[in-house]
């Protein structure tokens, strides 16, 4: 008999698994309670090929929403697990601001399948400026990317993209103001550009809001000769929230 088994039973009795959103006791580690699970809006239906916005009518694989037709993004698509809502927001805030780094494993479990359809891709987390990492102690996107890499075997590279300009929090800014704030914020170090030539990149973040951050990152990755950049994130803010900043008081990097 595995000696760890009795210890596991003892721990489960003393510290039973709890829903990562509301804290209710659940049947297994990382599981949501029925109520919170029912409030997660999984984005598995048809969507814009460029930004992942859910679409009611989807006549083909490459259909794009009006916004992406008018201003095509630099990246090659967005794969989000869920729509940004109360439960999705709860996990993002607990990870980013509550220092509950275990949330990264729960999020990573939901993202691994989408990442696995990009075989041979490099996992590149959206970077934070060094001053924000110093204050927070970690980069939540890097924690999520590390868990996705562990589950899929994809190579994690945290050195291929850096944030050279410290920017203010983007919450409450509209699309144009976000893009202006992020102009020149991201760069690929000169000695790392060779690693990107012809490679596919999975750009990992926690929340996709207006797309300004993802677009800024994808632009410099493509300039460094990356062949393809796909955005992978936990939650996507839907169109009616984009120009208001993240709903429910969240701040975004």
pLDDT of residue 174: 66
Whether residues 31 and 71 share a domain: the answer is no
Do the Cβ atoms of 246 and 92 come closer than 8 Å?
A: no
pLDDT for 20: 95
Query: Is the same domain home to 27 and 45?
Result: no
Q: How many domains does the chain have?
A: 2
Q: What is the pTM of this model?
A: 0.86
Q: Kindly state whether residues 203 and 245 are assigned to the same domain.
A: yes
pLDDT value of residue 9: 43
Residues whose CB falls within 8 Å of the CB of residue 56, separated by 6 or more in sequence, listed in order: none
pLDDT of residue 245: 42
Q: What is the pLDDT of residues 89-101, one digit of tens each?
A: 999 999 999 889 9
pLDDT at 169: 64
Same domain, 33 and 100: no
Place of tokens 């920017």: 167
**What value, to the nearest 5°, has the Cα angle with vertex 49 and ends 211 and 114?**
85
Residues 3 and 121 grouped into a single domain:
no
Of 226, 188, 245, 229, nearest in space to 74 by CA:
229
Whether residue 32 is found in the same domain as residue 120: no
Residues 13, 52 within the same domain: no
Are 158 and 230 members of one domain? yes
Q: At what angle do helices 140-152 and 103-116 cross, to 10 degrees?
A: 50
Residue range of the domain that includes 27: 1-38
Residues of the chain below pLDDT 50? 1-3, 7-13, 241-252
Task: Provide the CATH number for the domain around residue 135.
Answer: 3.40.50.2020
Which of 219, 223, 191, 196 has the alpha carbon at shortest distance from 74? 219
Predicted local confidence at residue 42, as pLDDT: 94
CA quadruple 114, 118, 123, 125: dihedral positive or negative?
Answer: negative
Task: State the residue for tokens 């949330």.
Answer: 103
């Amino acid at each position: 008999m595995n000696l760890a088994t009795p210890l596991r039973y003892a721990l489960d009795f003393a510290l039973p698994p709890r829903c990562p959103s509301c804290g209710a006791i659940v049947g297994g580690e990382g599981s949501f309670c029925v109520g919170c699970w029912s409030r997660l809006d999984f984005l598995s239906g048809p969507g814009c090929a460029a930004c992942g916005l859910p679409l009611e009518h989807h006549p083909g694989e490459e259909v794009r929403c009006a916004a992406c037709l008018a201003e095509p993004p630099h990246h090659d698509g967005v794969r989000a697990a869920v729509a940004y809502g109360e439960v999705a927001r709860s996990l993002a805030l607990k990870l980013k601001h509550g220092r509950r780094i275990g949330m990264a494993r729960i999020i990573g479990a939901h993202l691994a399948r989408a990442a696995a359809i990009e075989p041979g891709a490099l996992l590149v987390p959206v970077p934070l400026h060094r001053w924000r990492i110093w204050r927070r102690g970690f980069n939540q996107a890097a924690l999520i990317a590390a868990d996705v890499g562990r589950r899929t075997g994809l190579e994690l590279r945290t050195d291929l993209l850096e944030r050279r300009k410290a920017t203010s929090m983007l919450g409450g800014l509209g699309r144009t103001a976000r893009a202006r704030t992020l102009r020149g914020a991201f760069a690929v170090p000169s000695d790392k550009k060779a690693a990107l030539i012809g490679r596919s990149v999975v750009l990992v973040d926690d929340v996709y809001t207006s797309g300004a951050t993802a677009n800024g990152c994808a632009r410099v990755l493509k300039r460094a000769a990356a062949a393809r950049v796909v955005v992978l994130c936990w939650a996507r803010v839907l169109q009616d929230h984009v120009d208001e900043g993240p709903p429910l008081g969240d701040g975004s990097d």
